[in-house]
Structure 1
Amino acid sequence: MAIAAGSTTRLWTLVAKEFWRKTRRRLRAGPVYRWRYSGRTPERVLIAPPDLRLADPQIALEIYYGRYPLSGHLVETGGKSPFQIAVPNPGWQKALHGFRWLRHMRAAGTELAAANARALVSDWITIHGSQISGVAWEPGTTAKRVIAWLQHSSVVL
């Protein structure tokens, strides 16, 4: 009888855990959770942190032509998105996904550079925005990307 009582207690514990798990999932998918994050999306960042690093407008031109000189390594994309190319250099990949090169686009100060920057950010979101894995989502790279997007929001938005 003691074995049966222990099994019954364990069974009720498992049932309670499963009930709680399903309840939390329903709450997250329900209208109350969606309401929490609804509302207008801001059109621009009011205060962008300054970028203290030097920028070279010539690098923006190189990026426009599909040549990405990042982390001491030059990669030519041949018209493809740089986010679709497999490059064996992890430093180059981290620099690409960190988006610190946006400072060069901002320094160029042209509408062409801004349009190219927006297109590249859009490519990244399309390719890597839904699959959270790999070099693009390492904590250090993600932090650099978020900071770069905030610093250069005037170019990206």
Structure 2
Amino acid sequence: MALVAGNTTRLWTLVAKEFWRKTRRRLRAGPVYRWRYSGRTPERVLIAPPDLRLADPQIALEIYYGRYPLSGHLVETGGTSPFQLDVPNRGWQKSLHGFRWLRHMRAAGTELAAANARALVTDWIAMHGNQISGIAWEPGTTA
């Protein structure tokens, strides 16, 4: 009888842990969790830390023409948003969602590069801003 009681206690412990895990997952995917991150968007960034990595204005031009040389892998988008593509190279996807390529747009210093950067960021927000999951939200990508 003691063996059965021990198994029953262990079973209920496992059931409770699974229930709590599912509840936390639902809360993170639900509207209350998304509400935490909604609200007004600031007009501008007040302080931007200096970027110590080199920037190449030529890469900004490549991005404008739909060629994304990220993480040692070139992807041509053919006019579609790069965030809509299913590229099998995980390093390229992390580089795309990490937005480190924006430094090249800033280095170009043209209104065209700035408009292209704004359009790409707007595409990302439209596609990934409301769903907090996937490679775009992994800690290694967002860091």
**Identity in percent:** 91
Greater length-normalized contact order (CA 8 Å, ≥ 6 residues apart): 1
Question: For residues 14-57 of structure 1, what are the alpha-carbon distances to aligned partners after superposition, in whole Å with 9 as ceiling and x for unaligned?
Answer: 99999999999999999999999999753212221111100000
Contact 2:67 2:74 in 1 (8 A): yes
Using a 3 Å threshold, how does the CA distance of structure 1 residues 19 and 91 change in structure 2: closer, same or farther? closer
For residue 8 of structure 2, give the secondary structure of its aligned residue in structure 1. Answer: helix
Unaligned runs of 5+ in 2: none
Using a 3 Å threshold, how does the CA distance of structure 1 residues 37 and 106 change in structure 2: closer, same or farther? closer
Contact 2:34 2:130 in 1 (8 A): no
- Number of residue equivalences: 142
Question: For residues 114-157 of structure 1, what are the alpha-carbon distances to aligned partners after superposition, in whole Å with 9 as ceiling and x for unaligned?
Answer: 00000000000001111111111101212xxxxxxxxxxxxxxx
Unaligned runs of 5+ in 1: 143-157
Separation in structure 2 between the aligned mates of residue 20 and residue 106 of structure 1, nearest angstrom: 46
Separation in structure 2 between the aligned mates of residue 97 and residue 126 of structure 1, nearest angstrom: 13
Using a 3 Å threshold, how does the CA distance of structure 1 residues 38 and 95 change in structure 2: closer, same or farther? closer
Using a 3 Å threshold, how does the CA distance of structure 1 residues 30 and 63 change in structure 2: closer, same or farther? closer
Q: Root-mean-square deviation (CA), in Å?
A: 4.5
Separation in structure 2 between the aligned mates of residue 25 and residue 92 of structure 1, nearest angstrom: 28
Question: What's 2:88 paired with?
Answer: 88
C-alpha displacement at 1:5, in angstroms?
Answer: 19
Q: Runs of at least 4 residues of structure 1 off by over 6 A?
A: 1-40
Question: For residues 38-88 of structure 1, what are the alpha-carbon distances to aligned partners after superposition, in whole Å with 9 as ceiling and x for unaligned?
Answer: 997532122211111000000000000000000000000000000000000
Using a 3 Å threshold, how does the CA distance of structure 1 residues 37 and 127 change in structure 2: closer, same or farther? closer
Question: What's 2:35 paired with?
Answer: 35
Using a 3 Å threshold, how does the CA distance of structure 1 residues 75 and 33 change in structure 2: closer, same or farther? closer
Contact 2:29 2:132 in 1 (8 A): no
Larger-Rg structure: 1
Using a 3 Å threshold, how does the CA distance of structure 1 residues 19 and 53 change in structure 2: closer, same or farther? closer
- Tell me whether 45-54 or 71-80 shows the greater mean CA deviation: 45-54
Question: What's 2:20 paired with?
Answer: 20
